Structure formats: C-alpha cells, structure tokens
Amino acid sequence: AQSVTQLDSQVPVFEEAPVELRCNYSSSVSVYLFWYVQYPNQGLQLLLKYLSGSTLVKGINGFEAEFNKSQTSFHLRKPSVHISDTAEYFCACSMIKAAGNKLTFGGGTRVLVKP
Amino acid sequence: DSGVTQTPKHLITATGQRVTLRCSPRSGDLSVYWYQQSLDQGLQFLIQYYNGEERAKGNILERFSAQQFPDLHSELNLSSLELGDSALYFCASSVQDANTGELFFGEGSRLTVL
C-alpha cells in the first residue's frame, strides 16, 4: 500500500513571492507521482507528473516539482505566484506495476495568495 | 472545461434513500473513475471501469455500486444513505487504464444527506 503526506494544510503567500508545497510519499514499490490543482468549485486538473528521467519536472502555469527518491519527496514550487494561483493543490501517486490507474491522494494544501 | 460531464451538480436527500450519480467521460476516453471527496477522508478512490469492465477497486462501500454502459457513460449508485455519505463525488476519465495517464475530472456532484 502507498500513502501521500502533504505537510502543510494551508499556505498563505503574498503575490509575486515564491511558494513551495511539500509532499512526501510512502510505498513498498516504485510509484509515479503527480500534482493536481483544484480551483474553487471546479474539478481537479493535472499540473505535472513524474514518470521517469529528469527529476526536475516542469508543468503548466510556471510550476515545477523535484523528485527526490532518497527523501521520498516530490515538492512543488513556483518562483512567483499570482492571485489566480489561489487554489487547493493535491499530490498523488500511483503504483508503477499496478492494474488500473488508481491514484492515492494526499490531504491537499490550500494556497491563499494575498495582494 | 475538462470534457467530463457529471449530473446532478447538487443533490439533497434523506437518510435511507438511494441516489444515482451520472458521468459522461470525454469523447474517446475508455476509462472512468469515481472518487469521493469529504472533509474528514479527503480524496478517496472508489472504483475504475475500463471499456465496460471493472478494472480497479478502492474503498467503496458495499452499499455503493457502479457500472459503465456500452456508450461508456457511468453511473454510481449509493443506497441506504447515511449522514456520513455527504461528500463531493468526482468522476474522472482517461483514454486508457495505464497509470501513467492524465485523469480528466468533472466538476463533481455534491451530495448532502439530511
């Protein structure tokens, strides 16, 4: 079984400041890793994913994440946030050799961007 | 707009009742997934169908059932409803069932059980 822990439930940040959202995972097998964003009253949307290769992954809207196998982490960063980045962010993983496409999500981190 | 359509958007019902949530996946997507989002449990995977067949099962209660029809739309049936079933139920779809794929989520059906 696998689990995902998002260490911060809420992150307030000022506009144009950098933000880092922390994610750690636990799994007995190799996993793929994902970050999804949920804007108010909307469904989830994929920001980026790590499948293999370079450990630095770039996604949409200027976000990037770094996979660190030794620390079992997949932290999300953005160098300068906008008001429109106010949303809830979910880290997720799936087992590489599993049947089906089951995603295990973390508890989410609410980002509130202040002007 | 993700292309995934869920109905109804909101539903209020009483304990003991039964409801059906409907999902139309993106055009061309063969896999449909159901997730439950609640304040205490977070986002929980319920079940996945691929081209009409059950593919993976998560924390789905025995009171809940789902199916995917030949036209690929899916329904999630919730019966003998309890207060704790109040949640946002998301449907998602993807082209295939490989877990490298991107899931496209609908806007959810918010169920309130009184």
Q: B49 pLDDT exceeds 90?
A: yes
Say what the pLDDT of residue B102 is.
Answer: 81
Nearest Cα neighbor of B56 from A36, A94, A52 is A94
Mean pLDDT on B9-28: 97
Interchain CB contact of B38 with A (< 8 Å): no
Q: Hey, are the CB atoms on B92 and A32 less than 8 Å from each other?
A: no
Instruction: Show residues of chain B in contact with A99, CB under 8 Å.
Output: 55-56, 97
Helix residue spans in A1-115 (DSSP H): none
Q: Hey, are the CB atoms on B103 and A102 less than 8 Å from each other?
A: no
Give the amino acid at B90: F
Tens-binned pLDDT, residue by residue, of chain A (115 aa):
789 999 999 999 999 999 999 999 998 888 899 999 999 888 999 999 998 889 999 999 999 999 999 999 999 999 999 999 999 999 999 887 766 678 899 999 999 999 9
Q: Hey, are the CB atoms on B97 and A95 less than 8 Å from each other?
A: no
Query: Can you tell me the distance from the alpha carbon of A114 to that of A83, in angstroms, rounded to the nearest whole number?
Result: 7
Using CB atoms, pick whichever of A51, A100, A105 lies closest to residue B56.
Answer: A100
Least confident range from A40-49, A87-96, B32-41, B97-106: namely: B97-106
* Two tokens, residue B9: 């958007």
Interchain CB contact of B108 with A (< 8 Å): yes
Give the amino acid at A86: T
Using CB atoms, pick whichever of A102, A106, A107 lies closest to residue B48.
Answer: A102
Query: Can you tell me the distance from the alpha carbon of B111 to that of B93, in angstroms, rounded to the nearest whole number?
Result: 20
A93: helix, strand or coil: strand
Cβ-count burial B61-84 (b if 16+ within 10 Å, e if not): eeebebebeeebbbbbebeebeee
Q: Give the chain A residue nearest B104 (alpha carbons).
A: A45
Q: What is the DSSP letter of A100?
A: S
Say what the pLDDT of residue A99 is.
Answer: 66
Q: Hey, are the CB atoms on B98 and A101 less than 8 Å from each other?
A: yes
Instruction: Show residues of chain A in contact with B108, CB under 8 Å.
Output: 43
